Structure 1
């Protein structure tokens, strides 16, 4: 009877925050000992939490496969909603920002692509370090298939800097920058000395960014398609920082925004040539989820990102 009573006590326990945190640790670590270490609790306590979680979910969650533990299908399906619930719970206690950013103790997570100059990120880091020294800034890449939109919804990232114009209805956005497209190449390139025509551009071999959505191309691919200019891409990569060295050593052409082109041109003494046709400018936007819209700490960071972008835009051309 005593054993039945104990099981009953566990069975009526509510799914509270400690249990949710234990659940997420178990789902991410797939190990009782590692999950306990991650949360700084005893392994015996984590084992008790796992027993309760199994009763509450009606699933084993972790099962043995050979000499290791693996997640069940049900456990795998619980990872995203558990992460989202924990992220939403954190907003309940962090909605109001302290009187000064110096009192913040947060990790801000921004997903972006390296299509903005390094000095933009340097300025942003300086602003955060100076005003909120106890906070840290995580800058991560954008995933394919618009994965970053799901990451915003699930609380994996706090905001995104993107150039894609289409946004789901549940996301909010603010304009950061708008700049003209230019072509970047080595100074000795045959097209660097005169007036490059659209036909010259079409015949050239190009360095471009990796497709954001396989089969749809990059934003610039789509812009070029609008003016009827198919191009021969010789190198496509998500690491745009490779561009200066590659351009300096080849006759490839890189089409990008003016600010990044100027950054690269200073680094490798490259030539910047106007784009040979009328084309839509690059428009950068800061995007965030409705769930964090009223969070004061997130609002403060958004304002700092906008301020860093404006400072960059006001810098006179080289």
Structure 2
């Protein structure tokens, strides 16, 4: 049997980066029908739709993200190995970049990236802007940040995105909490009061509430926090429970008197991506850092 065309992986990379068929075609230098044909071939090869329409935008499937996480480092290594030497030299930037990220991402993702930058690109300076309500991707449009990292299911058409990693949801509960004496199910879970997160960080909360609305149930919110990292400490001292990214729960379960439980509802993992504005797409230094971040982001940061 004839092997699949490896060039299709570059098409898949463009489709997941642009999350738009016409922009992906432009990036690859092919026509839109040619890109559509490539997507059809990829779907047949992997027996998966790869890109679907959801939340008003095109979104990658979990299978597409898994494939991209496996092969993206190889594609980036190939690009770097085959790029003209002078381009590589010019694009190794002695420059400052601004990145907008929540405290969760600063905790779960940035330490490894900072270590890699210090070792391999000490001339790069990274300034982190903390997340604020109602900012998000608007920081890119206003040019207050060159990068935004996070989960944003409906980016505007003038933004590009690169999937970074996935982090599943976990419930965090104080050890000795009365609810642990009962069978762990949705009724036990809803009998507790919950910690919720502010608008700019409440991916799990929004998904939970939407799922609960479909079965005419709702949580009782005991406290709303603006910080992911404050939630484990609140949980450890109260009978409030929280639903958080697994990377946070795994860390704090080693240091606080808390236990982890699976969510009583099926929840998709949080898909963390790197976003940037179209204005920087051809900037060599910006492109260099995008590649570097992709190469130094683990498949799962938890």
Shorter-chain-normalised TM-score: which range?
Answer: 0.5 to 0.7
The correspondence for 1:290, drawn from 274, 278, 292, is 278
Measured in 1, the distance between the counterparts of 2:100 and 2:146 equals: 8
**Residue 116 of structure 1 aligns with which residue?**
105
The correspondence for 1:264, drawn from 247, 252, 258, is 252
Does the residue aligned with 1:177 lie in a helix, a strand or coil?
strand
Superposed, 1:50-129 pairs within 5 Å as: 99=89, 104-116=93-105, 118-129=107-118
Rate the CA distance shift 1:200–1:254 in 2: closer, same or farther, 3 A. same
**How far 1:211 sits from its partner (Å)?**
1.5
Q: Deviations over 1:161-195 (max 9, x none)?
A: 12121111111111112232110111212234664
Measured in 1, the distance between the counterparts of 2:292 and 2:218 equals: 38
Q: Which has the larger radius of gyration?
A: 1
Measured in 2, the distance between the counterparts of 1:262 and 1:160 equals: 25
Which structure is higher in RCO with an 8 Å CA cutoff and minimum separation 6? Answer: 2
**How far 1:135 sits from its partner (Å)?**
2.3
Q: Deviations over 1:113-159 (max 9, x none)?
A: 122372521111111122221222111122322x2323212321011
1:130 aligns with 2:114: no
Q: Is the Cα contact below 8 Å between 1:120 and 1:312 reproduced in 2?
A: no
Measured in 1, the distance between the counterparts of 2:106 and 2:275 equals: 19
**Residue 236 of structure 2 aligns with which residue?**
248
The correspondence for 1:209, drawn from 186, 191, 197, is 197
Measured in 2, the distance between the counterparts of 1:149 and 1:193 equals: 43
Does the residue aligned with 1:169 lie in a helix, a strand or coil?
coil
Does the residue aligned with 1:115 lie in a helix, a strand or coil?
helix
Q: Is the Cα contact below 8 Å between 1:180 and 1:280 reproduced in 2?
A: yes
**Residue 65 of structure 2 aligns with which residue?**
none
Measured in 2, the distance between the counterparts of 1:299 and 1:251 equals: 47
**Residue 172 of structure 1 aligns with which residue?**
160
Q: Which runs of 5+ in 2 are unaligned?
A: 1-85
Aligned length: 213
Rate the CA distance shift 1:207–1:304 in 2: closer, same or farther, 3 A. farther
Measured in 2, the distance between the counterparts of 1:293 and 1:259 equals: 31
Q: Which runs of 5+ in 1 are unaligned?
A: 1-95
Q: Runs of 4+ in structure 1 displaced over 4 angstroms?
A: none
1:223 aligns with 2:207: yes
Q: Is the Cα contact below 8 Å between 1:117 and 1:259 reproduced in 2?
A: no
Once superposed, what is the RMSD of the aligned Cα atoms? 2.4
